[in-house]
Chain A
Amino acid sequence: MSWLFLLASWIAALIAVSVGYAWWNRAGLRLQLRIHGSTPGPGSPVEELPEHLLRNAPLPAPIFEGDGVDMELGLNTTGAPRGPARLFGFIGSDQLSAGTGLVPRSGWRHEVNLPALRRGPLGAHAWVMESSDLLGFFRGRRTSPDSEVALVLPRFASLAHRPISRELEASVAAPRAGSGTELFGIREYRPGDSLRRIHWRSSARRGELVVREYEPPGVQTLGIFCDPEPGGVAVADQVARIAASEAWDCVRNGGRVVLWGPGLTPSLPEDARSFWAMLEWLARYPSRAASGEDADPPIVSEAVAVMAGARLEIGEALEMVHRRGGAVRAWVVGDADLDLDGPVQHVGTAWPL
C-alpha cells in the first residue's frame, strides 16, 4: 500500500505547491479599467458636432447621456502568462464581473457594453481582483482604489429656433466670422470669406483653406445661472441640458459663457469659450464648492437662469445684470412661479424640448 502513500504525498505536495502558485499568480497581475469606445445613443449630439470641435473633445470620444460605452476590463501580467483571476466591481451603478483562466503575456481584455448612461461622472468603485491557484485552494483579493473612468456629458441642442432664444439673439450683436479686431482663432474657409483673411501657413499645413477669425466687436458674455438645488436627478439633468444648450448657442456664435450658481463652484474665466469645459462643469452639476463659500455672481452682459424654483440669490444676480442694462430671462423646470423682469419659459423634464 505504499503507493497510496505516494499518491497521498503527491496530493499533499500539490496543495503545497498551490500555495506558491497562488502567491505568484497574485503578485504578477494588475487590474486595468478603461473606456475602449463609445456608441452614440439615439439623438446623441455627438453625431452633429462639427469636426473642429470634435478634435478638442475628450479622448477617446465625448460621451453624452444616453450613449453607451464599451468598457474594457483588463488584466496585465508581468512576465509569464498567469491565471486564473476574476475582476468584479461597480461602474456607476452597474455591477460588472469577468474572469479568465489564462492571462496571456500580452494581457487579457474583456469588453462590456454599458448602454444608455446617465449624466455625471462614471466612477469605478469597489473593484477587486481575485486570483488563486489553479484548483482554487488558496484565493487572494486585491482591491483597487476608486477612480473615475469617464464623464458623461449632458445632452444639448440648439435652442435658436425657440422664441425666447431668438429674443436673446436680437439683443446681442450678431457676430460675424472674420470681422472684429481681436484674433479669435481660425476656421475652415467658407464661401464669401474675404481672401485676405486666409491664413496661408495654416492652410498649407492642413491641406485646406483656413481663414483667420476675429472676435466680433462688442461680443457679449452670457451668464448661465443654475439652480443649486434642483430637487431631483431628472430635474438636475434637465437643468444641465438647457444650460448646455444655451452655452452651445452662445459659444458657437462667438460668445463667452460663465456658469454660476449659488454655492456652486463657478466655471473658470479662461474656459469661457471652451464648450467642452462647460459641458464638463454641467456634467458634474450640481457640485458644491469645495470651500463651502459662495462665489459672487459673475459680471456678465446677459444672463439666463435655469431653475427648478425661485431662488433668492439667483433673483438678485439677475436683478443686478438687469440694472446694468443686460438682458435677463429664465427657464423654469416645472411649474414654479418666478417673479422676473424678463421672459420666463416653463418646461418639463422631457428632452428634447
Chain B
Amino acid sequence: MAAVRLPRLRLPASPVENSLEGRAFVFSAFAVAVLAIALYGQDYVVPAVGLAATALGHIISYRGRMLKRTFTGQVVLASLIFGALAYFIADSVLAIFGGVLPQANFAIALVAVTSFDLKTRRNCYSSLWISLAILYLAAVYAWDYVFGVLVALWAAYLAGFWMATHLRRMEAKLSAPPAALATLVLGALAAGVVGFVLIPQPGASSPTPLVVSLPNFVSFKGQLENPALPLVQISGDPSGATGSIDLHFRGRLGDTPVMYVRTGAPAYWRGLVFDTYRDGSWTVANRNFVTFQPYIPTRLLPPAPPNNLGTFVQVFRVLRPLPGVINAAYPIQSLYAPVAALREDSYGTFHTPDVLKPGQTYSVVSYLPNLSAQELQKDTFAGGTTGVARAYLDTGGLSAQARSLAVQAVAGHTDNQFDTVMALTNYLQSNFQYSQQLGHVPAGRDPVDWFLFDAKIGYCEQFATAEALMLRSLGIPARLATGYSTGQYDSVLNQATVREQDAHAWVEVWFPNHGWVPVDPSPGFSALAATQFPDRWAAGGVAQLIPRLELGAPLAAISSLGILGVIPPAVAIALLFVIVWAWFRKRRWRGRVKAQPGESELLRLYERVQRRLGRRRAPPETPLEYRHQFRSALSPPPPRGGLGRGAVPLESLLEEVTAAVNEGAYAGRWPDPDAVREMANRLS
C-alpha cells in the first residue's frame, strides 16, 4: 500500500539578520521591558542577570549568525528553556528572589536563553514580542505616566528595528533625511492625537483579568498602622476591620493617597456594610463568613443582576496599610487577590486574613447593572416584602420628629419607591450642609437628631445614617455602605487616585427587582453617583484584550469593542487567508512538478556553483548563455569577482552541471543522485 505523504506546512524562510543596529534596537527594547519590571515589579536579581546574559547572547549570536545551527546547541537551548520553566514554577511557589512577577522572570529568562540563537529576522521579532509581553506584565503594577514613556520608548525601539532592518535590506546605512524624518514623526504624532480624539472607544467590556491561579504564600506580617479608614474602629481584628461605626466620633481625613485604582469606569469602592443602628452606632447583625480560594470565579458568585449592561475590570494597588477589606464596585462577578484565602461576609463584602500592605494588589471584575432613573421607576415599593430581613426596616430608635420630617420630605413623591427615595435624598442634599471639619457629637445626644435639627451640618456618615433610618421609617429597606468614593479619576490613564479624604459612606436601598441600589444623600455628590458608570473612555485599553482563562472571554472582549470589534476577526481572517493561500500555492507548485531523484540535488549544486562564481544566473539568461559567459571569460583577464584560483576545474564543473541541468530541464532526464554527489565533492 502506497504511503501517503502529507504536505508539511512550513513558514517561509526568514533571512539572516545582518543589521547590527537592528539587533541593538532589539536589545534596547528588552532593556526597557526589564527596566519596567525592576521599577514596578520590585524585582532586581533576575532582570539584572537576564539583561547581562542577553547582552552576551546578542554578541555571540551576531558573530555566529552565519553558522549553521547544531543539534547539540539546539538541545542545550531547549534544556535551558525547560530550566527557565522549572524556575518559573519554583519562583511562583517560593518567591525565590522576592518580586511579585514570576511570569516576568520567566519571560526574561526566555529572552536571555534565546538571545544566544538570534540568527534570523524572525528570531529578532520573537525577542521583541516577548519584550512586549514583559512590558505588559509590568503594566499590572504600573500606575503612572512614566510607564507610558517606557512603552513609547519600546515602540520607538520597535520602529528603530524596522528602520534598521529595512535600510540594511536596501544596502543602506542607518541614515535618513532629517527634515523628512521630523515631518514624519511629528505628522504621525499629530495624526495619532487627532485619531485618538475622534475615534470613539468602547464604552464597556466584559473581560476578566489575567489570572494565574498559583499559590502565593506571601503573608503580611506588618504591624497595624493608621488604617486610613476612620469610619471603622480598630478593635483587635487581625485584618484591621471590625463591624461597628460610632457616629459620635470622627477622625481627621488627610489627602494622602491610600490606593490607586485602575478601572474601566469610575465608581464607588464599597467596603463594609452595616445594617443595625443602636445608640449612635452601626453594627452588623449577621457575622457569618464563607471562605474562598484567592481566585473566586464567576460560577461561585451570584449571577449577573437583571438588565446587566456588562462588566468592567478594576485593579487596586494599596499604598498605605488598609484594613483587610476588599473595596470594589459591587456586585462582583469574579475576584482575585494574592492572599492565602478570602472570606465573604453576609453582606457580600470580601475580607482578607490580614491587613492590606502597601504594594499589595488585587483585581476585581464587577457587573454594570442598569440603575438608571427610568429603570428604577418601574420598581414597586419594597415595603413589607418578606424577602428582606427585618433588620433593614429597623429604625433604630429614630425620633418621632425625624419620622415626621421624613414623611414631610417625601410628600407628593409617593408614586413609586424611586421617587420617594430621590425626594428624601434631594431634601437632605438641599437643606443640609456638608463638612468634614466637624466636631464630636455632644454627649448624650442622638447623632441623627443632633444633625437633623440642631447642627444641620454634617459629614457623610450622618447624611447616610439619617437617610437610611428615615427610609426605613417609610417602610423602605435601607442600610449603610462604607468605603471610598471614586477619587481623582484620570481618564487617560484610566486610573483613580483614592485619598484618605475620599473615605465615604452612603446608603444602599433595596429595590425588589434591582437589589441593593446605592444612593448618596451627601451634598456635592450625585444622588445616583455610585451608578454613574462608564463614560465613553471607559473600559478602553488594548490591555483588556489579553488572553483569558475562562471560556468565552475572548468573544466577550471582542464584543465589548463595539463596531471596532470587527477588526480582530478581520485581521484573523486575513491572516488565515494568507496562510492558506501560501500553503496552497506551495502545494500547487509541489504538485505540478514533483521532484525526481537527482533533480533537487542537481539544482542545489547548480546554485552552489553560481554562488562560487560570484554571479547568479539572471532570470532571462539560459543556462547555456550563463555558462558561455564564464567559458569565454576564462581567457585573461578574468571577469570581476569571478574565476580566480581553481578557475579551470570550476569551468569544467560548470560545463558538466550546465549540461546536466539542460538535460533534466528540457529532456526530463535527471542525473543519478550519486553522480551529482560526485560533482558536489569536486566542488568542495
Instruction: Select the stretch in B107-115, B414-422, B541-549 that faces chain A.
Output: B541-549
Q: Are A86 and B639 in contact (CB under 8 A)?
A: no
A147 within 8 A of B: no
Q: Are A102 and B640 in contact (CB under 8 A)?
A: no
Q: Are B170 and A86 in contact (CB under 8 A)?
A: yes
- Find chain B residues with CB under 8 A from A66 CB: 637
- Find chain A residues with CB under 8 A from B148 CB: 3, 7
Q: Which of B165-212 contact A (CB under 8 A)?
A: 165-167, 169-181, 184, 187-196, 199, 201
B70 within 8 A of A: no
> Would you give the shortest CB distance from A148 to chain B, in whole angstroms?
18
Query: Which of A2, A17, A102 counts the most B-chain CB atoms under 10 A from its CB?
Result: A2
Q: Are B170 and A17 in contact (CB under 8 A)?
A: no
Among B165, B173, B494, B637, point to the contact of A2 (Cβ < 8 A).
Answer: B494
Interface residues of A toward B: which range?
35 or more
A16 within 8 A of B: yes
Given contacts A90-B618, A93-B629, A136-B163, is CB(A1)–CB(B541) below 8 Å? yes
Q: Which of A62-93 contact B (CB under 8 A)?
A: 66, 80-86, 90, 93
> Would you give the shortest CB distance from A45 to chain B, in whole angstroms?
15
Q: Which of A90-107 contact B (CB under 8 A)?
A: 90, 93-95, 97-104
A134 to B264 alpha-carbon distance, docked (Å): 36
Q: Are A21 and B184 in contact (CB under 8 A)?
A: yes
> Would you give the shortest CB distance from A337 to chain B, in whole angstroms?
25
- Find chain B residues with CB under 8 A from A83 CB: 172, 175-177, 180
- Find chain A residues with CB under 8 A from B93 CB: none
Q: Are B541 and A102 in contact (CB under 8 A)?
A: no
Among B155, B616, B635, point to the contact of A234 (Cβ < 8 A).
Answer: B635
- Find chain B residues with CB under 8 A from A12 CB: 192, 195
- Find chain B residues with CB under 8 A from A95 CB: 615-616, 618
A104 to B175 alpha-carbon distance, docked (Å): 11
- Find chain A residues with CB under 8 A from B544 CB: 1
B151 within 8 A of A: yes
- Find chain A residues with CB under 8 A from B199 CB: 9
Q: Are A82 and B192 in contact (CB under 8 A)?
A: no
Q: Are A17 and B188 in contact (CB under 8 A)?
A: yes
Q: Are A103 and B189 in contact (CB under 8 A)?
A: no
Interface size on B, residues (CB 8 A): 61
Q: Which of A1-35 contact B (CB under 8 A)?
A: 1-14, 16-18, 20-21, 24-25
B624 within 8 A of A: no
> Would you give the shortest CB distance from B192 to chain A, in whole angstroms?
3
Q: Are A102 and B170 in contact (CB under 8 A)?
A: no
A189 to B176 alpha-carbon distance, docked (Å): 58
* Residue ID in chain B nearest A85 by CB atoms: B170
B400 within 8 A of A: no
B162 within 8 A of A: yes
A17 to B186 alpha-carbon distance, docked (Å): 10
Among B177, B187, B194, B542, point to the contact of A80 (Cβ < 8 A).
Answer: B177
- Find chain A residues with CB under 8 A from B176 CB: 83-84, 101-102, 134
Q: Are B172 and A136 in contact (CB under 8 A)?
A: no
- Find chain B residues with CB under 8 A from A82 CB: 177, 180
B540 within 8 A of A: yes
Q: Are A136 and B169 in contact (CB under 8 A)?
A: yes
Q: Which residues of B contact A (CB under 8 A)?
A: 145, 148, 151-152, 155, 159, 162-163, 165-167, 169-181, 184, 187-196, 199, 201, 262, 264, 491-494, 537, 540-544, 615-616, 618, 628-629, 632-633, 635, 637-640
